[in-house]
Amino acid sequence: MENKILKKVDYIFQETSVSEVIDIIIKTLAKSPDDIILDVIDSGLKGRGGAGFPTGLKWKFTKNEDNPVKYVICNADEGEPGTFKDREILETVACKVLGGMTICGYSIGAKEGYIYLRGEYNYLLPQLNKVIDEFNKQLKSKGIDFVIFIKSGSGAYICGEESALFESMEGKRGEPRNKPPYPAVSGYNSKPTVINNVETLVYVTMICKMGVERFKALGTKDSRGSKVFSVSGDTPTPGIFELELGMPLADFVEDFGDGDTKAVQVGGASGHCVPRKQLKDTIIGFEGIPTGGSMMIFNSSRSMYNVLHDYLEFFNEESCGQCTPCRVGCQQLLKGIESVKKGERKPLYLDELKKLASTMKIAAKCGLGQSVANPFNSIVDNFREEIIY
Amino acid sequence: MSEYLVNLKVNNIAVSVKEGTTILDASKKLNFNIPTLCNHPDLSVAGNCRVCVVEVKGARLLAASCATPVSEGMEVFTNSEKVRTARKHVIELLLSEHNADCTKCFKNGHCELQDLASEYRVGDHVFIDLVKSKDKILDISSPSISKDDSKCIRCQRCVRTCEELQSVSALAVVKKGDHQRISTFMNKPLDEVVCTNCGQCINRCPTGSLTERTYLDEVWNAINDPSKHVVVQTAPAVRIGLGEDLGYEPGERVTGKMVAALRHIGFDSVLDTDFTADLTIMEEGTELLTRLKRALVDGEKVALPMMTSCSPGWIKFQEHMFPDLLDNLSTCKSPQQMFGALVKTYYAKKKGIDPKNMVSVSIMPCTAKKFECGRPEMRDSGYQDVDYVLTTRELAMMVKQAGIDFMKLDDEKYDSIMGNSTGAAVIFGATGGVMEAALRTAYEIVTGREVPFTNLKIMPVRGFEGIKEAKVMIKDVKPEWAFLEGAELSVAIAHGLHNANELMKAVRAGTASYHFIEVMGCPGGCLGGGGQPIPTSPEIRQKRATAIYAEDEGLPLRKSHENPEVAQIYKDFLGEPLGHKSHDLLHTHYKERKRY
Ligand SMILES: Cc1cc2nc3c(=O)[nH]c(=O)nc-3n(C[C@H](O)[C@H](O)[C@H](O)COP(=O)(O)O)c2cc1C
Ligand code: SF4
Ligand code: SF4
Ligand code: SF4
Ligand code: SF4
Ligand code: FES
């Protein structure tokens, strides 16, 4: 594993204007769709929405589908507790997101793009609509056949899951679909669809602007480039930071911790909890612990029981409820740690619950239920006494 | 779907199946059974119960076998340790939120969850009991449907049934997480929403969450009351369904045994709804011819196409969804209600029974009939015309409760009068049957000749295609029907309310030019009714249909107008079809109902 030292970067929030982005688009669209996709593959860019799927491949699969109607969707549902980077991006540099969508649309053969905006971010609508109108107008005047729309989300966390998002956009209840088929084959309105995170799309614009090599120069082999982190919890410097990928978590804590860090929750509620003793050996990146961007720091005053309890309550509430492992499993995990805490069940019951969490990881229908085991098993393994006593 | 073959291995055994086949079906081909709960052959794939998960070599996740198509080179394991652990967890989780009072449950012995629990021997509960209350969480507002949320496993089969097969969408998933449940619009009671009482959701509910409202106790009490004369009528489709709940394979005709069992149970008169099915043909056929005459000869504006009205689920659907087309419905009551009105008048008089002391029970393949018998219009005899409606399933329970060894019974015949019928009445139980029966009679009335189809089998109106169409050329008519000379009668048939909805949209839009439309609310017609034995599937319904047509062919009389009891009742009591008495007893009206 390569080790990088912590490095702050400034690509995402670099100021720009609609016309500058349009210029980047025009320059990029001089290439063939295939060449652009090859560039994106070559850049090593992976999705910043959590799952970390290689963006270029996703585009390629969608391009290969033979269908006159395709869509580009920007996932701006940002519901992971402790994450607020997409909001910041949309507030400050929305036109770069639109740029990424347009480039994607051209590459895969889509003529329409949609931003699915988290319901709580509706206050951004007037400002975003203005940018989008201006942007659409300029696209049209340059003869680029792509239009961007914005849709307001329903307010449920699960609607950030891509297939639930499509259902929600189609006016149905936001419940995840079976996979396959994947969005590249059947997404929004059952058409081939690329869905990317807000930040992913900004990096597309930046890669097109500065070239593949400069992007690749950052990060590691498996985690190219940089990434925006939302830092919260017991830190003197909460906020949003763009950092190079591949850094050891220890360096991160050195910079952001308050000197008394007990653990870091990487990737929000659905991420892993890394205890102090593992900080040195943990790399932030796709080869280590992937993250949607949330970094929550806990110092020794925190009860990890409470932390886990909060997460489980969150999942219990936000599970769409359709599949058994997640709907009932979340309740069992929550009630289970409560009963161990109260002494109604033996500490060994935690091992039953870990097995259950492992079943949820492989048998739940979507990423929500599948990821509950991440916080559960990592917290129970590392802070077992805090759960019991 | 393509014919391209995909090669895979299931539990190390190679198999080739068509592209698009699910892992579940590919495994079944090799006789590896995988348990399922949310999957149903009539419905779209949900993939939400997760009890069918299997291991696919190289995959991080287990795959829901009902929802995952096979792919080339796939290696599937249906019984690995991982799979067994996950499956057991899923069953244990379901049971941990389930109010499992099996001994008190209507579905005891017919429950897919119970079967799984006993197969997997989920003994002492590993997990915490999440059942909030050991009581039923009941909605018994509807006279037809009982809904107990404490037994619901959220498989959403009911929701998909109501939406996909019935286009009603009375049921919906509400809320998230541990609060997620199946509910109605604004969480209103079932009798205040668009529910048509069709019972199709019951037929597909794997547990005791959705069941019919049962009136077994009321019927037993009536039988036990010596002061009551209890009359029973049996609908056409009961005789070809009942056997399934009493040890027979689907498609067994048990008419004679059923009649014998009803006598053993203690019904005082065992009569046949088929009699009023024949009567319906006389009334409805005459109504159609009258409407055609008024339109063609008198130039009046009459509502055409005329639509059948035998199916009370369909009627309520129309009252909610297409109130603008209510005039198109035939004014004929359903055979059940014609029967009820006659049994407490004509039959009572003939037999010298005081209708006050009569209890009229009907055995129906249908749950909507439980609602229908309570409609305020259905009291034309001066009493409630039909007092209690039991489903085919409830009758099977009665047979068992009475300790009757059904298979060993000798065949018996219906009582007379109102017990005689023709093959035309029997086929009422299959989609297209009313149409076929009507054509057999109307054609003959108008032309004096039998319908021009071999052995009276009007094949274009048979079968399970969603919407069927047929045209019949009318030539060489009798003088009094001269206005129909050379006319081509155009008819359509829909079964299941989804198909009805499509057909009605076309009628409303004016893009469908039919004279006569038959609609049955349930897929397959009454043979697939909401009160029929569970399970149901296209194959089972096909077997029932085959049995119905065999019953028809085996009967000496196969045209309604040839039923001697029908001739007799017109002579002795009713006068003529659409006559004054018919109007009072056999016809009804409809009312607009709100959608919300
Ligand atoms: C429960 C759940 C919630 C999710 N929420 C979001 C979200 O708010 N924003 C997002 O970009 N991706 C979210 N995802 C991931 C998306 O499903 C999808 O992978 C992502 O939008 C793809 O974009 P990317 O490839 O650019 O990362 C969520 C996934 C799950 C399972
Ligand atoms: S895992 Fe949870 S959120 Fe995902 S489909 Fe199942 S119940 Fe819904
Ligand atoms: S639904 Fe099934 S498992 Fe539940 S109580 Fe009834 S019979 Fe038992
Ligand atoms: S009875 Fe029929 S209409 Fe009513 S909820 Fe069930 S399926 Fe829907
Ligand atoms: S009521 Fe029955 S069919 Fe509907 S979700 Fe519950 S268990 Fe499934
Ligand atoms: S039967 Fe396959 S998930 Fe329910």
Query: Measured from the CA of B110, which atom of ligand 3 is nearest?
Result: 7
Task: Give the distance (Å) from ligand 4 centre to CA of residue B571.
Answer: 41
In a domain, B577, yes or no: yes
- Smallest CA-to-CA distance from A282 within A304, A250, A305, A310 is with A250
Mean per-residue pLDDT over chain A, rounded: 95
**Exposed, middle or buried by CB within 10 Å (0-12, 13-18, 19+), for B18?**
middle
CATH code of residue A288? 3.10.20.600
Q: Which of B197, B212, B227 is the last residue of a domain?
A: B212
> Residues B543-565: pLDDT tens digits?
999 999 999 999 999 999 999 99
Per-residue model confidence (pLDDT) at position A81: 85
Q: Which of B351, B373, B408 is the last residue of a domain?
A: B408
In a domain, B169, yes or no: yes
In a domain, A180, yes or no: yes
Q: Tell me if residue B92 is catalytic.
A: no
Are residues B24 and B66 located together in one domain of the fold? yes
Q: List alpha helices for B120-226, DSSP H.
A: 157-160, 200-204, 216-224
User: Nearest-CA distance from B82 to chain A in Å?
Assistant: 8
Inter-axis angle of helices B433-447 and B273-296, to 10 degrees? 60
Per-residue model confidence (pLDDT) at position B578: 96
| Alpha-carbon span A71 to A191, nearest angstrom | 7
| Alpha-carbon span A342 to B317, nearest angstrom | 54
In a domain, A13, yes or no: no
Q: Which of A237, A267, A299 is the last residue of a domain?
A: A299
pLDDT at B2 over 80: no
In a domain, A7, yes or no: no
pLDDT at B577 over 80: yes
In a domain, B413, yes or no: no
Q: Which ligand is nearest to the CA of A322?
A: 2
Is B178 close to A330, i.e. CB distance below 8 A? yes
Q: Tell me if residue B119 is catalytic.
A: no
CATH code of residue B199? 3.30.70.20
Per-residue model confidence (pLDDT) at position A2: 46
Are residues B344 and B323 located together in one domain of the fold? no
**Exposed, middle or buried by CB within 10 Å (0-12, 13-18, 19+), for A66?**
exposed
**Exposed, middle or buried by CB within 10 Å (0-12, 13-18, 19+), for B218?**
middle
> Residues B192-205: pLDDT tens digits?
999 999 999 999 99
pTM: 0.96
Per-residue model confidence (pLDDT) at position A3: 46
Are residues B477 and B544 located together in one domain of the fold? yes
- Smallest CA-to-CA distance from A45 within A208, A185, A162 is with A208
Instruction: Kindly give the parts of chain A with pLDDT less than 70.
Output: 1-6
Share of chain B above pLDDT 90, in %: 96
Are residues A180 and A69 located together in one domain of the fold? yes
Length in residues, chain B = 596
Contact residues, chain A, for B96 at CB < 8 Å: 328, 332
| Total of domains in chain B | 4
CATH code of residue B54? 3.10.20.740
In a domain, A128, yes or no: yes
In a domain, B118, yes or no: no
Q: Tell me if residue B105 is catalytic.
A: no
CA dist A200 to A54, A55, A346, B90, Å?
10, 8, 46, 36
Task: Work out whether strand B306-307 and strand B516-520 pair parallel, antiparallel, or are unpaired.
Answer: parallel
φ/ψ region of B569 (left if φ > 0, alpha if ψ in -120 to 50, else beta) reads alpha
Per-residue model confidence (pLDDT) at position A279: 96
Q: Which of A171, A192, A216 is the last residue of a domain?
A: A216
Task: Give the distance (Å) from ligand 6 centre to CA of residue B35.
Answer: 8
Is B177 close to A317, i.e. CB distance below 8 A? yes
Q: Is B99 within 8 Å of chain A by CB? A: no
Q: Are B579 and B573 in contact (CB under 8 A)?
A: no
CATH code of residue B302? 3.40.950.10
Question: Which candidate in B244, B284, B319, B394 is catalytic?
Answer: B284
pLDDT at B525 over 60: yes
Range of the domain at A325: 304-384
pLDDT bracket for residue B247 (50, 70, 90)? very high
The token duo for A57 is: 């491949």
| Total of domains in chain A | 3
Task: Work out whether strand B145-148 and strand B138-139 pair parallel, antiparallel, or are unpaired.
Answer: antiparallel
Per-residue model confidence (pLDDT) at position B135: 82
Per-residue model confidence (pLDDT) at position B126: 85
> Residues A92-118: pLDDT tens digits?
999 999 999 999 999 999 999 999 999
Are residues B24 and B136 located together in one domain of the fold? no
CATH code of residue A191? 3.40.50.11540
Q: Are B420 and B414 in contact (CB under 8 A)?
A: yes
Task: Give the distance (Å) from ligand 1 centre to CA of residue A298.
Answer: 25
Inter-axis angle of helices B216-224 and B392-401, to 10 degrees? 50
Amino acid at position A303, single letter: S
| Alpha-carbon span B355 to A273, nearest angstrom | 78
Q: Tell me if residue B581 is catalytic.
A: no
In a domain, B93, yes or no: no
Mean per-residue pLDDT over chain B, rounded: 96
In a domain, A326, yes or no: yes
In a domain, A137, yes or no: yes
Contact residues, chain B, for A317 at CB < 8 Å: 176-178
Range of the domain at B548: 281-332+422-586
Are residues A65 and A141 located together in one domain of the fold? yes
User: Nearest-CA distance from A333 to chain B in Å?
Assistant: 9
> Residues B350-391: pLDDT tens digits?
999 999 999 999 999 999 999 999 999 999 999 999 999 999
Per-residue model confidence (pLDDT) at position B3: 78
Is A363 close to B53, i.e. CB distance below 8 A? yes
Are residues A47 and A147 located together in one domain of the fold? yes
Are residues A285 and A308 located together in one domain of the fold? no
Interface test mutation site (partner A, options B50, B98, B126, max chain A beta carbons within 10 A) = B50
> Residues B140-158: pLDDT tens digits?
999 999 999 999 999 999 9
Amino acid at position A104, single letter: C
Which residue has its alpha carbon closest to ligand 6 atom 1? B36
In a domain, A87, yes or no: yes
Contact residues, chain B, for A364 at CB < 8 Å: 50
H and E: helices and strands count for chain B: 19, 18
Is B90 close to A363, i.e. CB distance below 8 A? yes
| Alpha-carbon span B355 to B346, nearest angstrom | 10
User: Nearest-CA distance from A181 to chain B in Å?
Assistant: 9
Q: Which of A216, A234, A254 is the last residue of a domain?
A: A216
Higher pLDDT, B121 or A258: A258
Are residues B287 and B353 located together in one domain of the fold? no
Task: Give the distance (Å) from ligand 3 centre to CA of residue B40.
Answer: 19
In a domain, B416, yes or no: no
Per-residue model confidence (pLDDT) at position A8: 87
DSSP code at position B453:
S
Are residues B224 and B197 located together in one domain of the fold? no
pLDDT at B308 over 90: yes
Q: List alpha helices for B334-383, DSSP H.
A: 335-342, 348-351, 368-372
Are residues B239 and B136 located together in one domain of the fold? no
